[in-house]
Amino acid sequence: MPSYVIGDVQGCFDELMLLLEKINFNSKNDELIFAGDLINRGPKSLEVLEFCLKNKKSIEVVLGNHDIYLLYLIHQNKKNFQLAPILESKNKKKFFNWLIEKPLMIERKNNKNEKFVISHAGIPHIWDIEDARRLNKEYLNAIKNNPGGVFRNMWGDHPDLWSENLKGFSRIRVIINYFTRMRLITQKGKVDLKTKISSRSSKYKPWFEFVKNEKDKYQLFGHWAALKGKTKKRNIIGLDAGCVWGGHLKAIRINDRKIFKIKSL
């Protein structure tokens, strides 16, 4: 069963359809895993979600910051101009129920025994894979048991440093921030959620620079369009090639690590 991991679609439905044509997508055989940010900014967010619901048996998603924002808007009955077609859709509740069960990370293996971890922003070096799995589960439990509490308390850039001592909703907020918003981080694991570019003098660096290379272990992530997918690290593969900004929609086939790209229309 071929598995494709697709970078940030952000409402670029037409490019998504071209990509599926290119990979000869067959919903009976193939799996699509979206690296988050399915919606917002681009022209056809509603169409992207409708496609996902229609094909939900063959689709998995890790949530991105925009997807969580949409869940918040629906749950708290808020308005948003760009997302109005979704918020006014008769399927709004269905989209919500589908998205709210989605994780912050997904793991896959191919038949060469190469392991892939998929998340929207990445997994910081201060967490090992067991930490990441456990914290993803904590998030899933929290959003299941008290979605209102999570949505009302998830905004903010602080605390900006992970600690096992964090409790309650600030703990969940920090987990969400690392998995869905992280770009720059320090050796100690402090995140800067405001700036997008690291200066040479800064102790903040792109998160993946601190991640050790491990043989046959790959991280796939989206979120950071300005990188154009380039990390200079073989095992860390950026999938957000900025389709919504005039770049490309990018995907990787896990089975053979082949890359597929569609130029933005």
Give the binding site for Mn ion (CB under 5 A).
37, 64-65, 223
| Percent of the chain that is helix, strand, coil (3-state, to 5) | 35, 20, 45
Least distance to Mn ion from the beta carbon of 123, Å? 15
Q: Which is nearer to Mn ion, 25 or 34 (CB)?
A: 34
CA–CA distances in Å: residue 197 to residues 27, 81, 205: 39, 28, 9
Q: Which is nearer to Mn ion, 65 or 136 (CB)?
A: 65
| Phi, psi for 171 (deg, rounded to 5) | -65, -45
Q: Which is nearer to Mn ion, 65 or 219 (CB)?
A: 65
What the block records as the tokens of 58 is: 């063959």
What the block records as the tokens of 106 is: 């997904």
Q: Which is nearer to Mn ion, 45 or 65 (CB)?
A: 65
Closest residue to Mn ion in the complex (CB) = 223
Q: Given strand 59-61, what is the order of strands in its sheet?
A: 59-61, 31-34, 3-6, 248-253, 258-263
| Phi, psi for 209 (deg, rounded to 5) | -65, -25
Least distance to Mn ion from the beta carbon of 111, Å? 31
